[in-house]
Structure 1
């Protein structure tokens, strides 16, 4: 693509190029890539559309547009993704955090702020939380940013993901309240928690080959593959939950859109109470939560 002379021309050309590639998100993708390539703000694109663009910025954008048109997500191209208003670095071993996962954060925050967790204050005082399969650390770090008195542990099977999550915790000032461990589900975990959250692999193994290329080609399969029916990791979490979730504590997990009933049944079989299915903005089942019952319940 020849280098347009102004921000406005560059943005228009980028949008047309991504639309021609058949991308439904062409307009927002073009804006994000132009902003990153040129250092312009969203306001600049509106109010300073006639600003001249440096040739090296246009060349950089040209390469990024090639990658986006080929199906690489914007977050992978830029190396960061926004989640709950915070920017998180990505790595080859992490998923790109997605807006749907914000429902999991909202569910956990609502439980804490409403006083539903025994011995926990609305600011998180008295809370130790666990994030299983932390990836970028987006869930755990966001919760600790929003709950400034809470502490937590974040785990992942991938050492590479743990390294990325550790860096993201430092980026957002949560490193002194968040510990990290590498291992499978409960293997690296000691102690008990008032809140356990997870966005585990939940896609059935034989479905992965048919996923959109953005997911299939760019997300790590380790973070996608949930076994034959997509429920393997939920079963593993529930199998060890009684040893690690305090009475009255909350388990909240992200699910696939069609897994609400199946995961709720698993929660019930594990003896959890107050089981709820929470929907995303599109009206689809997205999170299942349940409470650890005490001996007297």
Structure 2
């Protein structure tokens, strides 16, 4: 039986509290928060389960735990989230990068093989998508744009921490910060795409994320429509546009891109087998 105030006992008690609060990953949440409080790697918890924690360590961990119990996302509590194996700083001004968004990165990388030119990430947030692409394509220039200056600064900070020098991050509304005549081989975006009345907005981690990065008019399609319309001016000939979107939006996004003259329009599934990414190629010289 583990001693009271040991690592093992403290974790066990925390997991129980998180289970009762409704966390869907109580063991992981408890471990991540305790590691953060102790400034130790996960291996420490396994190597030293009998280590006795002092009062200050217990108080700090409990403060973090209480924030998680009321539903605050672990990534906001720790200020960190891994995406594409890259450690990223996060803040409440940006969406938390999610694993399903890595599908957008995979598809973008697949298309980037066959076309030369720069890459643009719209609504970049933490810079997750842009930085993942920049890490895999070191000889390509990747630009990220976000409406919020604090998000742009966070993305730039992440780029600096990761030493990804083939990136730049700008603040402004969608294409506004770009000079006339700027062209990209690939434009990617994870824009707001949730309807205002969607019940998921009051559930789970989403409750704590910025609504401006989540919600769009026209049944969630307004920003996708705006980007797809304007992107035609900024895509190189045969360039690709691709979006992450809601699991029920594959068909309307395909129809939208086709109506705007995009070709080879297709929708890809995420890791949960839901429609998640739709792409289209624009032939500007046809």
Does the TM-score normalized on the shorter chain lie above 0.5? yes
Whether 1:150 and 2:148 are equivalent positions in the alignment is no
Matched residue, 2:169: 180
User: 1:14 offset after TM fit, Å?
Assistant: 1.2
> What's the CA shift string for 1:204-240, capped at 9, x where partnerless?
1222685314212x11111011113100111111111
Structure 1: 5+ residue runs without aligned partners?
A: 121-126
- Residue 42 of structure 1 deviates from its aligned partner by 2.3
Match for residue 60 of structure 1?
60
The answer to whether structure 1 residue 289 and structure 2 residue 279 are counterparts is yes
SS of the residue corresponding to residue 160 of structure 1 reads helix
Shift of the 103–209 alpha-carbon distance from structure 1 to 2, 3 Å rule, reads closer
- Indicate how the Cα distance of structure 1 residues 4 and 223 shifts in structure 2: closer, same or farther if over 3 A, else same: farther
Identify if the C-alpha distance between structure 1 residues 151 and 4 changes in structure 2 by more than 3 Å, giving closer, same or farther: farther
User: Alignment partner for residue 128 of structure 2, among 117, 125, 138?
Assistant: 138
**Matched length:** 282
Structure 2 equivalent of residue 214 of structure 1:
205
Helix, strand or coil at the partner of 1:228: helix
1:161-200 mapped onto 2 (5 Å cutoff): 161-174=151-164, 176-190=165-179, 191-200=182-191
The question of whether the paired residues in 2 share the 8 Å contact of 1:4 and 1:53 is answered with no
Aligned residue number for residue 236 of structure 1 = 226
The residue that corresponds to 1:123 in the other structure is none
CA separation in 2, counterparts of 1:133 and 1:208? Answer: 23
What SS does structure 2 have at the residue aligned with 1:289? strand
Using the size of structure 1 for normalisation, the TM-score is: 0.90
Match of 1:124 in 2: none
Residues 1:27 and 1:93: Cα distance change in structure 2 (over 3 Å): same
Task: Please say if residues 208 and 225 of structure 1, whose CA atoms lie closer than 8 Å, have aligned partners that are also in contact.
Answer: no
Distance 2:171 2:41 in 1: 38
| TM-align CA RMSD | 1.6
Whole-angstrom distance in 2 between the partners of 1:294 and 1:22? 51
Please give the alpha-carbon distance, in whole angstroms, between the structure 1 residues aligned to 2:55 and 2:248. Answer: 48
User: Structure 1: how far apart are the matches of 2:10 and 2:92?
Assistant: 30
Query: Taking structure 1 as reference, are residues 26 and 219 closer, same or farther at Cα in structure 2, changes over 3 Å only?
Result: same
- Kept in 2: contact 1:273–1:291 (CA 8 A): yes
| Correspondent of 2:114 among 101, 113, 116 | 116
* TM-score where L is the length of structure 2: 0.94
CA distance in 2, matches of 1:19, 1:193: 47
SS in 2 for 1:205: coil
